Amino acid sequence: MGLLTLVASVYLVCGIVLFFLGITILSEDYRGRLNRITSLMLFFAGSGPIFAAFGTILKAGGLASTTSVFYTNIFFLWELFFPQLLLFSLVFPVENLFLKKHLRAKILIFTPHIFRLLLVLFLYQPRNLINLSSLENVSGLGGFILQPVTFVLKFLSLSVEVIYRFHLQFFSIINLTYLFLAVLFLYQGTRKLTQSRLKTQAQLVTWGIRSAAGLYAVAFILPALTSLKIPDSLRYALTIGALLIGSGSIAWSIIRYRFLDIRTLVRQSLVYSLTSALLLGIYFLLITQLSNLMQTLLGRRVPILEIGYLILAIFLFQPIMGWIDELVKRLLLKDKADYRIMMEMFSRKIISILNLDELNRTIFEALKKEMLVEEVYLCLCDAKNGRFSLFSEDKNLSFPEDDHLIQELRLKDRPFFLDELSFEKDTPLFKTLSDSDVFLIVPIYSSEEFIGFFGLTKKITGLKYTYEDLTLLKVLANQFVVAYKNAQLYQESLEKQKIEEELLVAKQIQLGLLPKAFPKGKAFELSAYTQPAHQVGGDYYDFLERSDGSLGVAIADASGKGVPAALMVSLLHASLRAMMKNKFEPSETISNINQLISSSVSDGRFATMFYGEFNPHTRKLSYCNAGHNYPIVIRKDQKVEFLKTGGLILGPFPEATYQMEEILFESEDLVFFYSDGLTENFNEKQEMFGEDRLLELLLENRKLSCEELKELIVGEVENFAHGISLYDDFTIVILKVL
Amino acid sequence: MKLTTREDKGIVILEPKGKIMGGPDATLLHDKLHEFISQGKKKVVIDLAKVDWMNSTGLGILISGLTTMRNNGGELKLANVTEKIQSLLTITKLITVFETFESVDQAVGSFN
């Protein structure tokens, strides 16, 4: 096999590769403008090496001199590649607005090359077409009229001849200008891009074209402008190299970024076989070269060596093909396998995300980067208030809460296109979505419950959503829901934990409000107990030592339970303590507290409060009861009295007035203060502890010390409830007169 | 708490049933009263015959119902107050604020 034939084969393979790339891109979607332009460009690019191959074969066969100029010059057809490239640079990655408006500009781009082709194919010898001398010979009037025509024709034919003589140099410069412009436009287009993936691809194309331009310049411009002589074979090689790099980069990026979601098997095998063919060519070339080399060195043919080369070739061929196969799969072609990879990647990623914002970011990123969706909107229902919110990665959109479209969406259980909707097309949400170019809606369901949707705009590639896309989106939405629910639960548990911690602090604060040490006196004995049903409670008691030596006793119960009640307790505590600076009567103290409370609470919140002052010297208790459970007085002689005098509960009625009463105590008299949480304790049989039971206990045990009596009552209540948790806070204060 | 309403001689009669405990009960009664106020119906009787239990929050609901009506120039009266609630009203001295009647008819009649 001759070297020239081998070179021709390599050219041919290059040409066929480019041709097939063109066909592949065209067959993907022949209506796509970018596809048409790219494949035509690849056809032109492919025709270059193919013509070169034929030229080489002819030369090898010694037929070059005998073939006509037409067949030699048809070679220049490939140079239509340059205007086509320029056109490509004007529609990729973003279509040039000028070109969109002025379609005729396209023709202008092609004019020089078409003219040149006509020139080299038909007009290279204008004199053959028109016999000018016959025109010159016309005499008389005809001659007079024809004279300027003859002159013009003469001028034209002369200029055509001049152009023809220098067309190689001339078009080298034109082609280079086209290349330069193409690179410029591509560069500009790339700069405007924001999508990183597209940008990388556009950069790859720009890089490829630049390298191609460099090689082409070395092959044609350098020899044309300098006296440097470059052998034809090298020039062809350089040109074909340039074509391969330039077109290859374009084909690569077009395939890589457009062919994400169609059947790849065909393409894969095509590219695979083409690369195999190329590789095979290279192997043969190498083997022939090596054989020739060995033959020259050894002076004769050694058949055993050739067999050795063959084994070596097979030995090397397999792993390299395997490697190419991998590379092709990994870099060039992405398809169904991609979906599996994406799903796997996505579920792996989101399973560990417990932050809602991060989760949203991840799904946005997955849809934008992997599915090449231009913009993604997410609409989600807030579990707490049932309201839907619509947002994208960087903005929030609003729509009325009762939008009918949401009701309509609830009925959809699969992804659908917005324009499929037959009604609800005039709602604000529909308008917001269509204004944001949302195209596809993917409903999100959490165990049959509609919780929102993804709104996707068209793909960056302009391609349609395929059936596989919709299936994938459905799966992604399901995966998203699982992660979303997990994240939500986690967030809630965090919040709960935080509240628990805060409540613990509140509990400490509330415990701090209780008297730390009980006042001691010769004439009385005190004990107290309080237990909130929750972390913090609405019960409150206090002992205050007055300046006149008397003892202030307060017990209060804020309505409700938990934090709101605890806040009221703080208010009561602060108000009561503030009153102690003045020498108010208990009724005045209560009245003042009522006014303070009234101005700060609303919505039927209130507190009951008993406040009394016991003078140990006179043994007199003056008190005012603002709607609190009547404290029970057990006299030494077992007589029972209730401390009822006072007025309305504190809070709702600022104008309420309060009465006061004074009662005299004797030694061994006992006053039992409590909150209703004590008597309203329930047992298993739904019976209430009740006042009667309490009275009975008090009467029976009136002789115990304050502390003992307290322990006894608390024990009785606990026995009664028998493990049933406290429904309400309960508090006991016992004052015994000694 | 379940709440049914009826009208008698232009007077709204609310009939809560069960326990008045606060939480959703509060908003339920509040919303109902505001509904009547907006309809110009400002005379309300709450029939407590079927209320077997009321805690402090429940009492708060009645109080805010009363103040709501009074602030809007209306009146709220209680009828069929059970013994337990009666004693609760007595202890809290709310008996001095609420007008209570032994029967709904008496309460309705008292508006004339």
Final residue belonging to a domain, choices A229, A245, A262: A262
- A342 against A549, higher pLDDT: A549
Mutation to test the B interface, candidates A561, A609, A648, most B Cβ within 10 Å? A648
> Which residue did the predictor score with more confidence, A588 or A221?
A588
- Give CA–CA dist A324/A275, Å, rounded: 8
Please give the residue that has the higher pLDDT: either A163 or B81: B81
Q: Could you list the residue range(s) of the whole structural domain that residue B69 is in?
A: 2-110
Parallel, antiparallel or unpaired: strands A620-626 and A661-664? antiparallel
pLDDT at A617: 92
Q: What average pLDDT does this structure show over A473-501?
A: 88
Share of chain A above pLDDT 70, in %: 78
Cβ atoms within 10 Å, residue A100:
12
Do residues A585 and A714 share a domain? yes
Mean pLDDT in residue range A410-424? 79
Residues A304 and A359 in one domain: no
One domain, residues A98 and A242: yes
Residue range A122-151: mean pLDDT, rounded: 62
Answer whether residue A328 is part of any domain. yes
Q: What is the CATH number of the domain that holds A617?
A: 3.60.40.10
> Residue A366 sits in a domain of what CATH number?
3.30.450.40
What CATH number is associated with residue B16?
3.30.750.24
Tell me the average pLDDT across A196-218: 73
Express each pLDDT in A113-132 by its tens digit. 888 777 777 766 655 555 55
- Quick one: tokens of A367? 């849809």
Residue A102 lies in a domain: yes
- Comparing CA positions, the residue from A14, A469, A78 lying closest to residue A251 is A14
- A22 and A116 fall within a common domain: yes
Q: Tell me what the mean pLDDT of segment A158-183 comes to.
A: 78
Most confident region among A52-56, A73-77, A186-190, A235-239 by mean pLDDT:
A186-190
Q: In angstroms, what is the C-alpha Rg of chain A? A: 48
Predicted local distance difference test score (pLDDT) of residue A132: 54
Return the residue matching tokens 């003045």.
A582
Residues in chain A within 8 Å Cβ distance of B97: 648, 653
Asked if A350 and A307 sit in the same domain, the reply is no
What is the average pLDDT score of chain A? 79
Instruction: Say what percent of chain A tops pLDDT 90.
Output: 22
What pLDDT was estimated at residue A573? 94
Question: Do residue A412 and residue A301 come from a single domain?
Answer: no
- For residue A146, the Cα-to-chain-centroid distance in whole angstroms is 77
> Average pLDDT for residues A226-231, to the nearest whole number?
67
Clarify whether residues A323 and A342 are in a common domain: no
pLDDT tens sequence across A67-105: 566 666 777 777 777 888 888 777 776 666 676 677 677
Given A557, A647, A676, which is nearest B93 (Cβ)? A647
Domain contains A508: no
pLDDT digits (tens, 9 = 90+) for B36-77: 988 988 899 999 998 877 888 888 888 988 988 998 999 999
Give the per-residue pLDDT at B13. 93
Quick check: A466 pLDDT over 80?
no
Nearest-angstrom CA–CA distance, A612 and B92? 17
Q: Is A72 helix (H, G, I), strand (E, B) or coil?
A: helix
**Closest Cα partner for B25 from B69, B50, B62?**
B62
One domain, residues A360 and A248? no
Facing A605 at nearest CB: one of B60, B91, B94: B60
Residues A524 and A485 reside in one and the same domain = no
Q: Rounded to an integer, what distance in angstroms lies between the CA atom of residue A367 and that of residue A346?
A: 10
Q: Which of A333, A353, A376 is the last residue of a domain?
A: A333
CB pairs under 8 A between A and B: 54
> Does the beta-carbon distance from B94 to A649 stay under 8 Å?
yes
Mean pLDDT: which of A11-15, A162-166, A186-190, B59-63 is highest? B59-63
More confident residue, A484 or A308: A484
Tell me the shortest Cα–Cα distance from B93 to chain A, in angstroms: 5
Are residues A258 and A269 located together in one domain of the fold?
no
Please give the Cα distance from A469 to A364 (Å, whole number).
16
> In the prediction, which pLDDT does A645 show?
95
Q: Do A559 and B60 touch (CB under 8 A)?
A: yes
The confidence score (pLDDT) of residue A622 equals: 96
Q: Which of A262, A293, A323 finishes a domain?
A: A262
CA dist A61 → A4, A66, A109, A452, B26 (Å): 10, 11, 38, 73, 105
Q: Which residue of A has its CA nearest to B23?
A: A560
What total number of domains does chain A contain?
4
- Give the pLDDT score at A123: 66
Based on the fold, state whether residues A442 and A461 are members of the same structural domain.
yes
Task: Please give the Cα distance from A358 to A640 (Å, whole number).
Answer: 68
Residue A477 lies in a domain: yes
Strand-pair partners of A416: A441
* CB < 8 Å to A728, chain B: 55
pLDDT in tens, A251-289: 777 666 554 433 444 455 556 556 666 766 676 677 677
What's the CA gap between A589 and A576, in Å, rounded? 7
Q: Tokens 């411009």 — which residue?
A: A221
Q: Which pairs with CB-CB distance under 8 Å and at least 24 residues apart come from A499-508? A: A500/A535, A503/A534, A503/A535, A503/A536, A503/A563, A504/A535, A506/A535, A506/A536, A506/A563, A506/A566, A507/A532, A507/A535, A507/A536
Range from A21-35, A65-79, A216-230, A419-433 that averages highest in pLDDT: A419-433
Range of the structural domain that residue A379 is part of: 337-490
Interface of B with A (CB under 8 A): 22, 26, 55-57, 59-65, 67, 91-94, 96-97
Residue A389 and residue A314 in one domain: no
Higher-scoring residue by pLDDT: A697, A727: A697
For A503-551, write each residue's pLDDT tens digit.
Answer: 889 889 888 889 988 888 888 999 999 988 888 888 999 999 998 889 9
Which chain B residues have a beta carbon less than 8 Å from that of A628? Answer: 91
The rounded distance, in Å, linking the Cα atoms of A674 and A553 is: 12
- Total domains in the fold of chain B: 1
Span A703-730, pLDDT tens digits:
999 999 999 999 999 888 887 777 788 8
pLDDT of residue A1: 47
Query: Does pLDDT of A237 surpass 50?
Result: yes
Question: Inter-chain contact A628–B60, Cβ cutoff 8 Å?
Answer: no
**Minimal Cβ distance to B64: which of A603, A646, A648:** A603
What mean pLDDT is reported for chain B? Answer: 87
Pairing status of strand A449-456 against strand B99-101: unpaired
Look at residue A497 in the predicted model and tell me its pLDDT: 92
